[in-house]
Amino acid sequence: MRASALKDDVSFLLARANALSLSAGHAALAPFNLRVRSYSILALVADDIRPSQRDIAEHLRLDPSQVVSLIDDLQTRGLVKRDPDPTDRRTNVVVMTDEGRELFRSAHDAVRAAERDLHSHLSPDQRERLSELLLLVAFPD
Amino acid sequence: MRASALKDDVSFLLARANALSLSAGHAALAPFNLRVRSYSILALVADDIRPSQRDIAEHLRLDPSQVVSLIDDLQTRGLVKRDPDPTDRRTNVVVMTDEGRELFRSAHDAVRAAERDLHSHLSPDQRERLSELLLLVAFPD
DNA sequence: TATTGTTATACTCTATAACTATA
DNA sequence: TATAGTTATAGAGTATAACAATA
């Protein structure tokens, strides 16, 4: 069964690997009341890049309209806030609050632990190479 | 932006790579009136493994109840059919029809072409290694 | 008792179009 | 004329529980 036409199909392997990773991620994030997508936004904002909602949408491959409600939720919970961009009154810049930073730190640890667990059968070298190759595929530019 | 906390996060890269691959896949499959999931079922059935619906569900990480409606659709279109398993009257074995085989062949070509295009910036060696590593991650057993 | 396929339901995610305020 | 954010809506994907037939 493993040796089906799909087994050398990179798209299929990608889909299955991602499904496993998503499950593990959601399980790890549940205690923090975060989903993978809200966690990703926190991660993006955590670096003090001050991204606009548009930046977030593009980097996370989300529609701008989805970002609205995700940020709404995070803002309601006091984890991020919207700052007006002084140079363009149309755009909001998303920044992290102290509570957000703290929650993200714990969530980040949990995610890393889950990931380490999920890939425990890979050698450090294999993990490294996987990461490099995936970066190429995820950001082909 | 590319250099955010997420860039060395395998889960994130996996998610983004999969999103790109899904888009390309859906675009390639649209002319055949297939979605990625129905295509995957065809691919699994195409090898004459005669999988049960349960087998399909497990291998594709779908809930058995989802498989029902996917097979319903494919069967209505005459692409697959359900054969009773002689050794266990509870289970259906899913097999391909001639039309199904023919459609799958064309769809398979289209998917391969799209995939080749999507990974055209990788060397053959990199593609090979990516495939091997993903197989390890997708099937950790 | 446990398992296969099935039905039903609710929730999340994804995709699209249209609107407003700014540029 | 184009872009950022927003609202609304519909469709696809996901998760769960319960049931009949069979093992």
Q: Which residues of B touch A16 (CB under 8 A)?
A: 60-61, 138-139
What tokens does A34 get? 């975060």
User: What residue has token string 């701008």?
Assistant: A64
Would you list the domain boundaries of chain B?
Answer: 12-119
| Pairs of CB atoms within 8 A across A/B | 172
Q: Mean of the pLDDT values across residues A24-40?
A: 95
Name the average pLDDT for chain B: 93
Cross-chain residue pair A44–B131, CB shorter than 8 Å:
no
* CB atoms inside a 10 Å sphere around CB A101: 15
Cβ-contact A82, A75 below 8 angstroms: yes
Residues recorded for chain B = 141
Q: Which residues of chain B have pLDDT under 70?
A: 2-3, 5
Chain A CA closest to residue B20: A138
Long-range pairs of B19-23 with CB within 8 A, sequence gap ≥ 24:
B19/A61, B20/A61, B20/A137, B20/A138, B20/A140, B20/B118, B21/A10, B21/A11, B21/A14, B21/A15, B21/A137, B21/B115, B21/B118, B22/A11, B22/A15
- Nucleotide closest to A52 measured between CA and C1': D4
Q: Could you tell me the pLDDT band of residue A141, with boundaries at 50, 70 and 90? A: confident
- Judged against a pLDDT cut of 90, whether residue A48 lies above it is answered with no
Q: Quick check: A8 pLDDT over 80?
A: no
Distance B69 CA to C8 C1' (A): 13
Determine which of B1, B4, B11 to mutate to test the interface with A (most A C-beta atoms within 10 Å): B11
- As given in the structure block, the two tokens for residue B63 are 């809930």
Q: Which fold has domain A10-115?
A: Arc Repressor Mutant, subunit A (1.10.10)
Q: Which pLDDT tens digit goes with each residue over A66-95?
A: 999 999 999 999 999 999 999 999 999 999
Picking from B6, B21, B136, the nearest residue to A11 by CB comes out as B21
Given this model, what pLDDT does residue B3 score? 59
Q: What's the Å distance between residue B67 CA and nucleotide C5 C1'?
A: 10
- Scan for tokens 């493994």, then name that residue: B49
What is B12-119's CATH number?
A: 1.10.10.10
Please report the pLDDT score of residue A45 as a whole number: 95
Is residue A7's pLDDT more than 90?
A: no
Element (H, E) at A83: strand A80-84
Dihedral sign from CA coordinates of B60, B65, B66, B67 = positive
Average the pLDDT over A111-123 and give the result.
Answer: 94
CA–CA dist A23, A43 (Å, integer): 18
pLDDT recorded at residue A82: 98
Residue A58, exposed/middle/buried by CB under 10 A (0-12, 13-18, 19+)? Answer: middle
pLDDT mean over A43-71? 95
Min Cα distance A101 → chain B (Å) is 13
Return the H-helix or E-strand segment holding B31. none
Give the nearest chain A residue to B140 (CA atoms): A121
Q: What average pLDDT does chain A have?
A: 93
B121 touches strand C (CB under 7 A): no
